[in-house]
Chain A
Amino acid sequence: DGGITQSPKYLFRKEGQNVTLSCEQNLNHDAMYWYRQDPGQGLRLIYYSQIVNDFQKGDIAEGYSVSREKKESFPLTVTSAQKNPTAFYLCASSSRESYNSPLHFGNGTRLTVT
């Protein structure tokens, strides 16, 4: 079955360390996205990529970095510059074949930084 895989599901890190969250999709989607979710808040867009080797900053890109070397992969690095990294991170993808293509989500990674 096609889908989006995020790993790991839970991640613990010490303050000051960089950490990379994995996102892989086998849906053959061109566009991929990273969102951050905090309790009581909606989803906030960190970065998105519409095509391989290209990506754009979202609304809260500071302290994060991404790469898009392969169509199926869009890893997110949370750097030590991110002031409040503890959150639930969601990866999503969509087809660009039609304008109304909905987002497909992975099951998320919960990052805890102490």
Chain B
Amino acid sequence: GEDVEQSLFLSVREGDSSVINCTYTDSSSTYLYWYKQEPGAGLQLLTYIFSNMDMKQDQRLTVLLNKKDKHLSLRIADTQTGDSAIYFCAEIATSGTYKYIFGTGTRLKVLA
């Protein structure tokens, strides 16, 4: 079945790079997404990548996709305290039902 896994916690120092990892099981997924959730709020779309791409860069964010290993990562350069949040990766199920499968979320804590 479909499953998306993430590590639960990550702690980095301000100014360092953060790398958040995700593995997924549906090899036919076409789109993979990264969302950010701040405390008490909904999820905000950060970026997404199409499965025929290896990399996508958007300002401080770099997404890497290893389709062979079904591994997705989000790199945040020059991490700031405002980046402290929960980050979710998600894939869209390929059954045509428009169901999105979310990982458990990685809580990023940025230390000043």
What residues of chain A have their CB less than 8 Å away from a CB belonging to chain B? 4, 6, 31, 33, 35, 40-43, 45, 48, 50, 56, 58, 90, 92, 94, 96, 99-100, 102-108, 110
Residue of A nearest to B5 (CB): A42
Residue B10 is within 8 A (CB to CB) of chain A in the complex: no
Contact B88 A43 (CB under 8 A): yes
Please choose the segment from B12-20, B42-50, B66-74, B75-83 that sits at the chain A interface, where 4 or more of its residues have CB less than 8 A away: B42-50
Cross-interface CB contact of B105 among A42, A107, A110, cutoff 8 Å: A42
What residues of chain B have their CB less than 8 Å away from a CB belonging to chain A? 4, 8, 30-31, 33, 35, 40-45, 48, 50, 88, 90, 92, 97-100, 102-105
CB-CB under 8 A from B31, the residues of chain A are 99-100
Interface residues of A, dominant DSSP: strand
How far in angstroms is the closest Cβ of chain B from A37? 9
CB-CB under 8 A from B41, the residues of chain A are 107-108
If A42-B4, A100-B48 are given as contacts, then 16 extra A-B residue pairs at C-beta distance below 8 Å, sorted by A number, are: A40-B104, A42-B88, A42-B102, A42-B103, A48-B97, A48-B98, A48-B99, A58-B99, A99-B30, A102-B33, A103-B33, A105-B42, A105-B44, A106-B42, A107-B40, A108-B42
